[in-house]
A and B are shown apart, each in its own frame.
Chain A
């Protein structure tokens, strides 16, 4: 057991489980919260890109120096009060030119909601309609100024979501990719492990039935195994996910009914050999009941195979879940790695070159699968020492 705990994959598995449990508690805010501009790069990627900047502005205006690339979004929101007789002008002064963002008159109170992505706003300022308005409002490095002419009081917020946010940037909706990644572990683990557990229980039941009862039961079950093994799984999983809904537990159920066959086969062959062994014969001669032999002797005998099958089955379930989610056949509200890849592909991660949307979930799946494969292989070696390690056959 101690050698098991020293195994690197086991340590990694424990770390991942802890992350799955505690990350949602430690990470601030909901995963669906918008934290920055869409497709913002990771914070550490390019230091010349601005991070998220927010400025508060009262009636005296605002002045600051800017030494980075332009932000991706420019929004100015808030409340301004003024004498109804006066004309209010909100002026954006850049090192090169001036923009009159808004001209207001006739009221004592105004609510501003200016966004450089807004077509009408761009048209009014004479900015090109295609492309980012924010980059035109930040033509170069230097000192910038927001001037408010003719106001009594102002309570404005200038929000400049930058091109980089968070550990792993943001997705197409401005959500934090790192948070999504952490929440995604849970889905993969829950689906992978529970689908495999159910499949193993099914496989054990069918394998025991086939091996111990024999006869017609055996023939029927093994025929079903052959048929299920010779049908391509993904198409049928797609159809089932389409018909039976896309929730987490439906997915678990669908995956488990199509992955018990391997376990059933190995349990059956084990039962066939054990059934004929002298000690079972002896038990029978002593008058032991069939159910007693089955539960007290045969089932414990299958335990090592079951454990190895469990660990080796999880990667398959994780990959299937990811595949279905990638095809868009999962609940859109359920955050999973496959779903992240689906959204990356569907919502323009390619045109943005957004590798930070692609690599983290994909590598996450790979690492999780490798961990389970390694644990499973270790268990297999323990069960069957003849297999030996790696290269020395």
Chain B
């Protein structure tokens, strides 16, 4: 039973991955003009042009190009960047930890804060904290994240210079493991804070709605009637039933988180995959842009898959549902 469900999830993730690969391939092949026009000077001799096209494999038929491309993507051999001439994968690999750290920490902080506030709001209906949660959820949805980040930068990096204005690490980087780590944390503090600020509202609103419904259920009344302590009723009974939907929202928040990380890295000039993507797109370095996009999509697919797995473990109903599919 469980194995069938697992295969289904793996197949579905592979399906999304295949769609991403095809989309990525098509994007760069159907664009107007020549993919190598940025590196080929119109004044080059026809032989030189042909040589360059052969170097990038653009002289082969489209179907063959597609299979070569698939092999490259699956083995992470993205070739050389048009702009820097360095291997794209090395560059991406050096940037991946920064992006992952930003995404993971902001996800943890915003979800923990949001869940805590959401539960509090559900327990204190009509009080200040509930109004705060309801407002925060609506308002954060209409604030552009980068605007909030710019304001934070102006306040806490310029007016009151508590945090650095840009970069992932001081220049030159400080010596010693601990100081270096602290320096990274110091540079990451404001970006993570801003993403948490933008993210907790949605979580809180969602958890509050789920929790309000859960607290109205009969089994909560029953638990109360049995004289269980309030915290036991809330966290041991009501909260446990809303755990699966919380994991769903965790799953659904990943694509948005990637988008948020990309723009955050640009605002704070962090060394990450997002800034790499932006530089590649602005510099018409399409192989590099394609690789960065692929990596970001891959991150989403993988985290979705893991969220699915955890969901399956938490909610026994999932298995039955999977069986019926």
Contacts and interface: CB of A to CB of B under 8 A. Distances in A.
A229 B301 CA distance: 11
B203 interface: no
A236 interface: yes
Closest 6 pairs (CB-CB, A-B)? A234-B259, A369-B142, A362-B147, A242-B281, A232-B258, A243-B31
A347 interface: no
Contacts of A125: none
Chain A: number of interface residues, binned into ranges: 35 or more
B16 A230 contact: yes
Contacts of B263: 234, 323, 326-327
Interface stretch (B44-52, B65-73, B151-159, B222-230): B151-159
A288 B15 CA distance: 39
A355 interface: yes
A235 B126 contact: no
Contacts of A232: 254-256, 258-259, 262, 296-297, 300
A233 interface: yes
A264 interface: no
B142 A350 contact: no
Contact of B282 (A234, A235, A328, A391): A328
Contacts of A366: 142-144, 147
Interface string A146-177: 00000000000000000000000000000000
B209 A393 contact: yes
B113 interface: no
A362 B150 contact: yes
Nearest to B20: A231
Interface string B132-163: 00100011011110110011011001110000
A346 to B, nearest CB: 11
A329 B147 contact: no
B277 interface: yes
Interface in A225-246: 226-227, 229-236, 238-244
B311 to A, nearest CB: 14
Nearest to A245: B32
Nearest to A358: B150
Contacts of B134: 390-391
B261 to A, nearest CB: 9
Given A327-B278, A341-B150, A235 B141 contact: no
Nearest to B260: A234
A365 B262 contact: no
A243 B277 CA distance: 13
Given A235-B292, A242-B282, A345-B150, A226 B259 contact: no
